[in-house]
């Protein structure tokens, strides 16, 4: 298991005004959330429903666990991640495992 990070200052259309940041210490790596079916379906919607985005993040984190169990059942270490999506009107943040985040506004 190794760490990874991702910084995407612009996501594909129609979300080119969005940014995605994440720090990961997981088997599945930095694209696990972006590769989930729920998150990919967001591209079909011109206007984002926050509930749909949150569901995509949760499903991405759950996929970490499924992949770990399927590939190496003897894995003793844990997955950890923190991600943030920054939109023109919102910041959607989530953590998984032992990673935590702090948001400061000035």
**Cα–Cα nearest to 40, from 81, 70, 6, 12:** 12
49-98, pLDDT tens digit by residue?
667 667 777 777 677 667 766 765 565 666 677 888 888 888 888 877 77
Boundaries of every domain in the chain: 2-96
- Buried b or exposed e, range 27-57, using 16+ CB within 10 angstroms: bbbbebbbebebbeebeeeeebeeeebebbb
Using CA atoms, how far apart are residues 33 and 79, in angstroms rounded to an integer?
A: 13
- 0.85 exceeded by pTM: no
Using CA atoms, how far apart are residues 34 and 84, in angstroms rounded to an integer?
A: 12
Q: Which residue has the higher pLDDT, 40 or 4?
A: 4
């Amino acid at each position: 298991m190794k760490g990874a990070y991702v910084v995407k200052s612009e996501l594909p259309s129609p979300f080119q005004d969005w940014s995605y940041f994440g720090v990961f210490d997981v088997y599945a790596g930095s694209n696990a959330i972006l590769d989930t079916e729920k998150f990919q379906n967001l591209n079909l919607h011109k206007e984002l429903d926050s509930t749909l985005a949150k569901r995509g993040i949760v499903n991405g984190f759950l996929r970490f666990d499924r992949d770990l169990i399927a590939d190496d059942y003897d894995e003793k270490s844990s997955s950890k991640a923190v991600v943030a999506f920054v939109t023109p009107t919102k910041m959607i943040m989530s953590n998984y495992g032992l990673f935590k985040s702090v948001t400061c506004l000035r």
